[in-house]
Amino acid sequence: MGAWSLAHLFGDSLSDPRVSLEIIDVHDVIDREHARFDAILLDVDNGPDGLIQLANDRLYCNWGLRVAHAALRPGGILAIWSAYADEAFADRLKAADFAVDEVTMAANDREDAGTHTIWLASRLG
């Protein structure tokens, strides 16, 4: 299925001249850019590791976080969703020169719902 076959889900937003669509590994996009992005939003796996796809580790490892840092403009935000908390990951973000805000919220509206974590990592320097 081609990407344009999904256009009905997005209305005419894909026609906006500010939008570009690439079908490529997100790591490769981040890796080739320098100070280009205001934000990088990752919801790639169940958390900051390659739990589902081992190749996703390259997004969350120390050098992967440094690559994301370099791809962001100063003050840019790297936002990462996770199905679980991970204190060591927050420390890795800080070591990659990010200011980190960790947000925990209910997974859904049910009383017995677990929580999800989102790290909002602001590029320093």
- Report the distance separating Cα 33 and Cα 74, nearest Å: 14
Nearest to 85 by CA among 67, 65, 104: 104
CATH code, domain with 118: 3.40.50.150
More confident residue, 15 or 28: 28
Handedness of CA 15, 118, 55, 72 (dihedral sign): positive
Residue 14 lies in a domain: no
Residue 84 lies in a domain: yes
- Report the distance separating Cα 32 and Cα 79, nearest Å: 19
- For 63-106, the pLDDT digits (tens) are 999 999 999 999 999 999 998 888 899 999 999 999 999 999 88
Residue numbers of the domain that contains 107: 23-123
Q: Number of folded domains in the chain?
A: 1
Residue 47 lies in a domain: yes
DSSP three-state, residue 8: helix
pTM (two decimals): 0.80
Residue 4 lies in a domain: no
Contact criterion met (CB below 8 Å) for 80 and 73: no
